[in-house]
Chains A and B, each alone.
Chain A
Amino acid sequence: MGLRRTLQASCFLTYGLTLSALPTNRSHTNHSPLTTSHSPLKTMLHTFIALVQDKPGVLTRVASLFRRLNINIVSLTVGESERADTSRMTIVCEAPDTAAHRIRASLYKLETTVEVDEVNRSEAVVRELCLIKVAASPTGPHGVHSRSQIFELVTVFRARVVDLAPESIMLEMTGSASKIEGLLQVLRESGYDVLEVSRTGRMAMRRGHHTTRVLRALGTLPQTPTLGSEDGADLLDLDPDALPEEESLPNQFKDHEA
């Protein structure tokens, strides 16, 4: 047990760290309409969660918005949410650090959008599912030991074997993007032939029970006050972002794996 812990920790240290800083500092070669000067702006990864109506064409509207803003989508996952007729999207994109406000505002402008949130790593759990097919035949470079070595890696990375074929093994792994990258890198550096990789892209969820944003999306909190509403003046000070941080973002769990 102790040994495994150490091994596990060192794996994450080696691969998790190198890969967590992956594509953050690339700058656009195209002149994005979001850049206001001619110098290329520093870009970063933004993660947006959008609750949208579950209707035909909604994905196109969201995707088209990013195309229009000349922003590259790194990953986009869509699936059902806790609400009927509402899909949940997690969109990871690479954009100038000043672009987040405009992306959020533009996502909201889509008539099919119900709620938008932007999360960063510290306040949300971010996960990805990955299927990996690895060549593992007895005649391969690792010979008859190849499978047992893969099983060992699987245990360390807390992946699962989901298919066994005479020539290959299929692995399933859930985790942060950096850990998936870590497993892939270990496999490749150990001389295994990675035949296929299929990744879902990132999904994100805020930590804690119910954030104010979720409550608002569920309709159990009043809409944010607007200047246009009749009682706007009374509600002027009710700004959910002005609530104490621990109230709006209960953050009871530390990220052990980061």
Chain B
Amino acid sequence: MNDNQHPTLTGAEILWATLAGEGTTTVFGYPGGAILPIYDALRKFPTIHHVLVRHEQGASHMADGYARASGRVGVCMATSGPGATNLVTGLATAMLDSIPVIAITGQVSSKVLGSDAFQEVDITGITLPITKHNFVVTRAEDVAPTVRLAFQIATNGRPGPVLVDITKDAQQGSATFDFEMSKPAAYRPHPMLRAESSAMRDAVALIQSAKKPVILAGHGVVDSGAEAEVIAFAEARQIPIASTLLGLGAIPSNHPLSLGMMGMHGESWVNTAIQEADLLLAFGMRFVDRVTGNLASYAPKAKKIHVEIDPSEINKNVRVDVSLIGDLKTVLQQLSPMLSKTNDASWVSEINMSKGTAAVRDIINLPDNGHLYAAHVIHDIWREAQAAGRLEQTIIVTDVGQHQMWEAQYFKHECSRSLVTSGGLGTMGFALPAAIGAKFACPEKDVWVIAGDGGFQMTAAELSTIVQERLAINIAVINNGFLGMVRQWQETFYDKNYSASPILSPDFVMLAAAHGIDAANVTTRPDVTPTVTKARTGGKPFLINFAVEKEDGVYPMIAPGAALHEMVRRPAKDPLLETAEDE
């Protein structure tokens, strides 16, 4: 069957042909011994661009950032042994946030599998709990069906990462390639996915009788593409919407029903509304400890309806009254017509009243007193983009820590996929590589890295990748000389014992210069916006080192184990505020 339609190819060629057939145009990877046949075949597939990373962890984060920014599958690649183990953190990050990522790893020849051959590691064993599924391929004829099945698994139901480990002999062997025949059988939906009509009726009854309902919008809103349905649903019943970190942007923050982020660093009125609510509608979120606080006192007055595509999330953390298991968009399309509309906005006005003076004490309204606050910097990046009319064309990729929470609080996202951040795993070092992935997914957009001085140094080697790939990515390093979130916890819970949290950094401007990247130091508020504009409009990578207040804290804050309404506000005797008033 060696005709043009079904040529005989090597396993390595079949891999590229299958990836191309699945629509892959960019692969992030790093070559090595056990994957050399695949790299050798790459030149025959000019539609696929390979991005050479500096560390395989970067490759997995790039594939992740690519998927988050675009909704398409991100593909990364590494050799056996250390190459494969370096992917692990990125795969776990994608797993915890349900991101469709395919990882291809080379493996030693099937004849020596299990013999501790050079650079052999049991990567399918290692990644078993941090992938949605994984495969070992030992024959060339299995490459195409397995990779196609991997794409199907990664994207269907609740998305997630899939690893395909391909032995060297499978790469070198040959087989007939037939893309169509390699198509997997129809996806098996989770058998417990079912629309129980009685549950639908129960949900309708609860919603119709609720006086103080709140929608909890999670990442599932984005995954399901249900933004419009959620907004229409909320508008019809005048239901305010609180978002999880990964749900930010799905509901435009300027929408009158949008409350903002809930949880540990959520605004007071958001968490108070949840605690006061008589009905919670959890849409594609999983009641993680960061959003519930103490479970025993979580939303005590509220009935709970959980709309979720993964049945194993039902009653996992919070017991719910009604569960609607299915794709959020489809469920809402069925549920909405069963509901009557209401114009009663009294609950929404009550919440708006409770905002009260909280915003006045907000640090962004402080007068400029010569200090540079991270919140100012992030808010100014947002204002600059908004003033330039680029907000919908801006993707912010954050690292993990204080700056991540400030970003969530002070950058007002208005569209889905405009914030790329590691929520579930909280992976420091995520931002820079994930931004590279996001820029490849959306080359026309302005991509900003916002990272702390700690996390930035974890994967700073990828600056070279930015230069090699000529990517116009802007980098804001929020530099406070500390691992800020660790320091804040040590300040609050460990008696200011700053154990191992002060961190020395290189001169980031010189570091950028060493990579051939333009850079600037910013130490005062008036310099923020002009420098941000310069970076955004320069058409090439630009790094800004923001030397911000060293011992600033993220507020409000809920101590671990405390109830959701027991918020710690910025202390009235905050030395930062006193300085502000003194001046």
Show the binding face of A for B, using Cβ within 8 Å: 36-37, 57, 60-61, 64, 68, 98, 101-102, 104-106, 108-112, 115-116, 216, 223-229, 232-233, 236-237, 239
Contact = CB atoms under 8 A, between A and B. Distances in A.
A61 B128 contact: yes
A72 B170 CA distance: 38
Nearest to B197: A236
A216 B133 CA distance: 24
Contacts of B128: 60-61, 64
A115 B312 contact: no
A101 B325 CA distance: 13
A227 B192 contact: no
B531 interface: no
B124 A108 contact: no
A236 B295 contact: no
Given A60-B128, A64-B128, A233-B334, A225 B192 contact: no
19 contacts: A37-B295, A57-B124, A61-B128, A68-B129, A98-B315, A105-B311, A109-B310, A110-B133, A112-B133, A225-B195, A226-B193, A226-B194, A227-B195, A227-B324, A227-B325, A227-B326, A227-B330, A228-B189, A236-B200
Interface in B6-30: none
A228 B334 contact: no
A172 to B, nearest CB: 36
Nearest to B200: A236
Nearest to A112: B133
Given A108-B311, A110-B133, 11 more contacts: A36-B317, A37-B295, A57-B136, A104-B192, A105-B311, A105-B314, A108-B190, A224-B194, A228-B327, A229-B189, A239-B196
Q: Which 6 A-B pairs have the closest CB atoms?
A: A227-B326, A105-B312, A105-B311, A111-B133, A226-B193, A227-B195
A106 B312 contact: yes
B129 A64 contact: yes
Contacts of A236: 195, 197, 200
A229 B191 CA distance: 12
B312 A232 contact: no
B189 A226 contact: yes
B132 interface: yes
A10 B331 CA distance: 57
Nearest to A34: B316
Nearest to A68: B129
B316 A237 contact: no
Contacts of A233: 334
A141 to B, nearest CB: 50
Nearest to A230: B330
A111 B164 CA distance: 14
B194 A239 contact: yes
Contacts of B193: 224, 226-228
B296 interface: yes
A61 B133 CA distance: 10
Contacts of B133: 110-112
Contacts of A110: 133
B75 interface: no
B191 A224 contact: yes
Contact of A223 (B191, B196, B311): B191
A115 B191 contact: yes
B195 A232 contact: yes
Most buried by B among A36, A224, A226: A226
B206 interface: no
B326 A226 contact: yes
Contacts of B325: 227
A82 to B, nearest CB: 19
B311, B312, B324: which has the most chain A beta carbons within 10 Å?
B312
Contacts of A106: 312
Contacts of A64: 128-129
Contacts of A115: 191
Contact of B326 (A37, A109, A216, A228): A228
B153 interface: yes
A109 B191 contact: no
Interface string B498-526: 00000000000000000000000000000
Nearest to B319: A36
Interface in B323-351: 324-327, 330-331, 334
A149 to B, nearest CB: 50
Which residue among A101, A105, A227 has the maximum number of chain B CB atoms within 10 Å of its CB?
A: A227
Interface string B432-443: 000000000000
A224 B195 CA distance: 9
Contact of A102 (B195, B315, B334): B315
B316 A102 contact: yes
Given A98-B315, A228-B189, A237 B129 contact: no
A226 B315 CA distance: 20
A135 B126 CA distance: 46
Nearest to A110: B133
Nearest to A57: B124
A232 B330 contact: yes
Interface string B20-63: 00000000000000000000000000000000000000000000
A220 B234 CA distance: 41
A25 B133 CA distance: 35
Interface in B132-154: 132-133, 136, 153
B338 to A, nearest CB: 12
Contacts of A68: 129
A57 B375 CA distance: 49
Contacts of B331: 227
Contact of B197 (A102, A226, A228, A237): A237
A228 B315 contact: no
A226 B195 contact: yes
Contacts of A98: 315
A36 B295 CA distance: 8
A98 B317 CA distance: 12
A225 B194 contact: yes
Given A64-B128, A225-B194, A226-B193, A101 B315 contact: yes
Nearest to A236: B197
A133 to B, nearest CB: 35
